[in-house]
Amino acid sequence: MRLLVVGKLSGQMSVAVKMVMDTGAKVSHVEGCQQALDALRKGQGADLLMVDYELDIAGLIASCDLEHIHITVVACGVNPDPRKAAQAITAGAKEFIPLPPDAELIAAVLAAVADDQRPLVTQDPAMQQVLKLADQVAASDASILITGESGVGKEVMARYLHEKSKRAQKPFISVNCAAIPDNLLESELFGHEKGAFTGAMARRIGKFEEADGGTLLLDEISEMDARLQAKLLRALQERVIDRVGGAKPVPVNIRVLATSNRNLSIAVKEGTFREDLLYRLNVINLALPPLRERPADIMALSEFFAKKYSEANGIALKPLSNEARRRLQAHNWPGNVRELENAMHRAVLLSSGSEIDAEAIRLPDGKPLNIEAPIGLDYVGRAAQAAESAARTFVGSTVAQVEQVLILDTLSHCLGNRTHAANILGISIRTLRNKLKEYSDAGVPVPAPQSGANAA
């Protein structure tokens, strides 16, 4: 995490900064609000501002909002005046840290307001296969497209790739393409010069330059406007960007990762996504399976989240009851890991006994989880439905025909990535290539390779 401290660095503030650095955060410092705004404009980025509550916090937040700089602020102060602390919160600060500092309080506040410590927790073989491929390519500078349903952990995988890369000591910058209006996204990504448009009061460095030397994650890339897609393609091909209103191109040295919960091959066919950009982004595809397809991860993640939120709320860690485990395993988890995390957070808070029992695990509407599902019924029912569907689909087909459908469907799911498809199918890349040549020679359409050296 990158922390920008705003205020005079003396006495108790210095002690607090040292404690923050002990948590692993990268700290920079300025004395006033204008200097903080200048630093943010220049791309000296931060994930969090810690501001002396004697300064004009309301003015700093308003200036950031005016220039579309979105950043979390916490206030701090020596011998805190409750009135001033309340004013800081009213002005927009998320938390207040009293000084002299308490190391545990500082660590808890930083964890709560800037949660970038999200380890990749997995035990399931389906996810282990993806992790194996991620480990193979993490050290390279290849662009990687991470696909999967909403809530499945795409950004967590992106952070994992960054931390395993040779750029790990440089910034990891994430931009949610779906959350920023099209008319602002260009400036957010590429920056702008003073006077480039109404409200551009000074030069602003964009996320491409802010990520210099590190990794830029383009989250939900499928939502990007077609005009911006063309500008992004140029940046990826030539490693230069143009600031809005700029007179000359600016070189950039970054690795680009992208995520999507949509099938971009379909988006290409629909004309909403550029095919050449897909090729450029999809050097490697990491397709994350939904939680319902990695059952061993359900318990591993449940226990991880139970521990996380017990510690965060100062509650003694409790084991999951057998019935709670059965219901967790039986639920379909349409919201994937995000839904499970929220459910376990509620369960930690609602549990009143010596265990986290089934009644404490509730859906967002307050209803208990799978209360009507007998043990294993959900899995058994889904398995029976799948078997019946498969039987109807493949009855009368030869083994070779079924094998062909399985291989081509898996390859399409992997957006043409031969290596990933072979891993999922449990066969060698040589066997897969031989099968695809056999199908192609027989006139069967085969998805085109889109995955670098191992795609052919």
Let me know the angle formed at the C-alpha of 435 by 433 and 441, rounded to the nearest 5 degrees: 100
Which residues of the chain are in CATH 3.40.50.2300 domains? 2-113
The CATH topology of domain 2-113 is: Rossmann fold (3.40.50)
Instruction: Write the CATH number of the domain with boundaries 396-454.
Output: 1.10.10.60
DSSP string over 210-241: HTTTSEEEEETGGGS-HHHHHHHHHHHHHSEE
Q: What is the pLDDT of residues 101-153, one digit of tens each?
A: 777 777 777 766 655 567 899 999 999 999 999 999 999 999 999 999 999 99
Q: What is the pLDDT of residues 205-241, one digit of tens each?
A: 889 998 999 999 999 999 898 889 999 999 999 999 9
State the virtual CA torsion across 54, 58, 59, 64 in degrees, nearest 10: 120
SS3 336: helix
Residue type, 349: L
The pLDDT value given to residue 113: 62
Q: Rounded CA gap, 289 and 297, in Å?
A: 11
The CATH topology of domain 125-287 is: Rossmann fold (3.40.50)
Which residues of the chain are in CATH 1.10.10.60 domains? 396-454
SS3 367: coil
Q: What is the pLDDT of residues 287-320, one digit of tens each?
A: 999 999 999 999 999 999 999 889 878 899 999 9
For 290-389, CATH number out of 3.30.530.20, 3.40.50.300, 1.10.8.60, 1.10.357.10 equals 1.10.8.60
Rounded-to-5 percentages of helix, strand, coil across the chain: 50, 15, 40
Percent share of the chain, pLDDT over 70: 91
Which residues of the chain are in CATH 3.40.50.300 domains? 125-287
Exposure string (b/e) for 8-24, b if CB count within 10 Å is 16 or more? eeeeebeebbebbeeee
